[in-house]
A and B are shown apart, each in its own frame.
Chain A
Amino acid sequence: MRVVEYIKADTFIHRLNPISKLLYTLLTLIIVFISTFTYDIIILLLWLATALILWRVAKISIRYFMSFVKILAGIIIFIIVVQGFMYRGETPLFVIGHYRIPGGADIGVFTYEGLMFGVMLSIRVLTAVSVLPLFTMTTPYLRLMESLTRLKIPFKYSFIFVAGMRAVPMIQETWNTVVEAQKLRAFDIDRMNIFKKAFRAYIPILTPLILLLLRKANDMQIAIESRAFGASTKRTFLEDTGFHKEDYIFLAVILGLFAVTVYLKLFLANEIWDTVIAFITRLLF
């Protein structure tokens, strides 16, 4: 997807060492992982807000975020509807019938607790997704590869990853051309049922695809080796892989936030959430 590709700019986030950004991404994912109760919405929103502020700092258009929301809209609605009916809540919002499943909730009733749990799950998804472009759109691959080398991860491995990424569109294009080629011979895979597809249909497509890719892989290997990949000399680092003042400030803030969040989660989130809800309820009714 184009949206998540590196865009050149000179912002605080762009200047950060990729490792700092990786650490931040990791911490966010940990928060997402440990947030499992409805009242955790509070801390999820805190990290989602942090991500969006960093989006601003990195000068990434919020439009991209909206396109994420759009792509995920279907899933979010699905989660909320399913949780609304399935969650064992006590406060019914509306009822479409009574279907009690043995030992479970009445799935004909849409409950307030279910709605909130669904909202929490959706925010979890959004929070996890929101850190992704912060990393990919501000980090050139080469800088990432070289920074990882500093962490003693061999350049070879990160290179395999990057070359693989490069090969994906090539494979896709080849696949499309082969499918078209066979369609032109009245072979229409889209119209076949799933069993036919699984057992027979892919042979006319996979055979030419694999043979073509093997040939391209040969060319690729020549291109790589004839440019001295694997030479015994020490590789030159082209990108800045050091840690600077920005990194220390950023890491201090993020680690601080993480500590505060964990404290909140353990001792206060539940209470704050109840207070907030009580306040909103009073405002509304």
Chain B
Amino acid sequence: MSSEVVVSVSNLSFKYKGSDREALRNISFEVHRGETFVIMGPNGAGKTTLCYILSGVIPNMYGGVRRGRVNVLGFDPWDQPIYETAKYVGILLQDPESQLIMPSVFAELAFGPANLGVPKDEILKRIKRVLEIVGLEGYDERHPRELSGGQKQRVALGAVLTMMPDLLVLDEPTSQLDPIGTTEVFEAIKRLKEMGITMIITSHKTEEIAYIADRVLLLYDGEVKAIGRPEDVLSNVDLLEEIGVKPPAVASYFRKINIGDSTKPPIFLEDAVKLAKKMIQEKKLVVKNVEFRNGEVERKEPIIEVKNVTFIYPTEPPVVALKNINLTIYEGEFVGIIGQNGSGKTTLAKNIVGLLKPTKGKVLFRGEDVSKYTVGELAKRIGFVLQNPDYQLFTLSCEEEIKFGLKNIGLPEEEIEARIEEALKLVGLEHLREKYPFALSFGDRRKLAVATVIAMRPEVIILDEPTTAQDYRGRYLLADLAEKIRRKYGTTIIMITHDMDLVAKYAERLIVMANGDILADGPTRKVFQMRDVLEKAFIKPPQITRFAQSLVEDGVNPEVLTVEEMLEVLSPSEE
């Protein structure tokens, strides 16, 4: 690797206009040519702000006060219009949808270089090359609407690449994608790394990003907490936990068994397996014979029954989203539903809450056909928490927000007051009841959205993708709340998610969907052992489960779901 410095930042501080808090404080680092530099940190740490400063979005679009020095390839993006910076810095954002502006892939990829006046032949050459890199050969004439999320994000990446930037800034490029889309985008990033492109990437996906990072910077509350090789930074489990970045599961495991201060916990699965095998041989680790409970609650009454449900979207051509689904959910269960986008998870949920009516078959709620009820009537009994709270919040105070639904179902005033009180307390927002919902943090807005649902006292709560665009701590927020409510009221919880760690931690029962079909349905730890089913659905079990699975020959029970369970089956020998 050459040592040419591409980005040099020293003592950078930044405060947004109208804010009294510094978003960045005394940041210093350098990025060298060809390096993949990863910035990690919880939401609100300043990652996006840093990306915006490096690409000139700040101050051209968002104003503020800056101190310190920034040098990107000999220029300071602060001093020039974005289109000048754009000649050598490309930026990719989270949301693939809003970044595609042209009506075909070809026009999208040509947009940047054509703006710069690059000759036509050269543009055509670049487009051909870039389509290869992002793996979309032959997609030239496609309309963005015909593409999946992962494909869209790769087009957006390609559109930046055709400008041949010297530096690529990728701001959480996979946070809104499903596992397939994430893999596709990471594949493209790996190819760019091999080509020697300098990249700055922000991400929450520790386990995946560890493989491509050359160096990692930990950002917390606007300050640099650590900077160095991934093996050094990401193995610092205590620091990661403290600032709210997910440590690799295997690193957490080895941190807990205390392998001596001189050795760092491994961050890669392969290294962890090697180390574990060695330690088993040396009798430092002992395999214990533990049988796990299957987590099957004694099944009480069926609460939701889906009977022979087929659902076809009446588009042109029609899309069969559910194929003859049969499913019974019992009272008090915590069920996880996993599968790629387009596998039918959300369609199934919408059929259950009455937003969609089955094309064939029926859905029963406590034995009664849900088509008898309106969506509103059903909402009293089956609550649905959306991915993004901003699709529903609109009032001037948290109280009002909760009141809205209760008024719609026609409750008396004193009952409404009591329920608002209770719901705010449950989610921990009592102190903010008068606050304007949009002034709350994203996490608090989501809590408020949950409060609006639980105030209706539903018997079932459905969580739709409770982790999208969330950091390590935020991911567990909604599931934690749901679990709390379940314990208190016996509410049935259905959770739709891409997050396997979340499923492993909370769901007792797991349903795997693909192409409108249910591929597997059973206790979570059993389902994670069904390799061929998971492969078909492009799903990987949590890292800690894969760790246990790799040690089956050594007698380790592979049905492990959490680091704590791993410690039970493979613990340090007591000497």
Contact = CB atoms under 8 A, between A and B. Distances in A.
A140 interface: yes
B120 A219 contact: no
Contacts of B55: 226
B267 interface: no
A223 B115 contact: no
Given A170-B97, A226-B86, A233 B116 contact: yes
B99 A220 contact: yes
B87 interface: yes
Interface in A214-231: 215-231
B159 A228 contact: no
B23 interface: no
Contacts of B106: 142
A228 B375 contact: no
Nearest to A169: B145
A142 B116 contact: no
Nearest to B84: A231
B104 interface: yes
B141 to A, nearest CB: 5
B452 A141 contact: no
A17 to B, nearest CB: 17
A166 B100 contact: yes
A227 B104 contact: no
Nearest to A221: B61
A224 B101 contact: yes
Nearest to B127: A238
B398 interface: no
A224 B408 CA distance: 42
A282 interface: no
A191 interface: yes
Contacts of A238: 110, 114, 120, 123-124
Contacts of B81: 230
A162 B393 CA distance: 31
A193 interface: no
Q: How would you classify the secondary structure of chain A's contact residues: helix, strand, loop or mixed?
A: helix
Contact of A233 (B85, B115, B144): B115
B90 to A, nearest CB: 7
B60 interface: yes
Nearest to A205: B394
Contacts of A216: 95, 97-98
Interface centre among B102, B120, B124, B141 (most CB of A within 10 A): B102
A2 interface: yes
B39 to A, nearest CB: 18
Interface in A142-190: 142, 162-163, 165-166, 169-170, 174, 177-178, 180-188
B120 A141 contact: no
B260 interface: no
A211 B394 CA distance: 9
Interface string B369-395: 000001111011001101000111110
B75 interface: no
B83 A183 contact: no
B391 A236 contact: no
A5 interface: yes
A212 interface: yes
Contacts of B85: 226
Contacts of A142: 102, 104, 106-107, 110
Nearest to B93: A219
Interface string A195-217: 00000000111011001100111
A226 B111 CA distance: 11
A146 to B, nearest CB: 9
B117 A233 contact: yes
B426 interface: no
A187 B404 CA distance: 9
B386 A228 contact: no
Contact of A230 (B83, B89, B374, B390): B83
Given A162-B103, A184-B384, A237-B120, A227 B112 contact: yes
A227 B100 CA distance: 11
A236 B113 CA distance: 8
Interface in B185-215: none
B338 interface: no
A245 interface: no
Interface string B166-184: 0000000000000000000
B237 interface: no
A229 B390 contact: no
B160 A227 contact: yes
Interface string B210-227: 000000000000000000
Given A162-B103, A220-B99, A184 B83 contact: no
B133 interface: no
A235 interface: yes
A166 B108 CA distance: 12
A185 B379 contact: yes
A98 interface: no
B82 interface: yes
Interface string B40-63: 000000000000000111001100
Nearest to A224: B101
Contacts of B107: 140-142
Nearest to B106: A142
Contact of B355 (A170, A183, A186, A229): A183
B102 A218 contact: no
A8 B138 CA distance: 13
Given A8-B141, A181-B386, A166 B116 contact: no
Contacts of A237: 114, 120
A181 B392 contact: yes
Given A182-B392, A184-B355, A223 B101 contact: yes
A270 B191 CA distance: 72
A141 B84 CA distance: 26
Given A162-B103, A228-B115, A236-B123, A219 B394 contact: no
Contacts of A234: 117
A120 B383 CA distance: 56
B375 A225 contact: no
B120 A208 contact: no
B117 A187 contact: no
Contact of A141 (B104, B116, B350, B408): B104
Contacts of B60: 225
A174 B387 CA distance: 13
B379 A184 contact: yes
B156 A186 contact: no
B147 interface: no
A229 to B, nearest CB: 5
Contacts of A207: 394
Interface centre among B163, B374, B375 (most CB of A within 10 A): B375
Interface in B238-267: none
Interface of B: 55-57, 60-61, 81-87, 89-91, 93, 95, 97-104, 106-107, 110-120, 123-124, 141, 143-145, 156, 159-160, 163, 316, 350, 353, 355, 374-377, 379-380, 383-384, 386, 390-394, 404-405, 408-409, 438, 452, 456
5 contacts: A8-B141, A142-B106, A204-B394, A220-B98, A230-B115
Given A180-B350, A225-B60, 5 more contacts: A186-B377, A191-B374, A204-B394, A216-B98, A226-B91
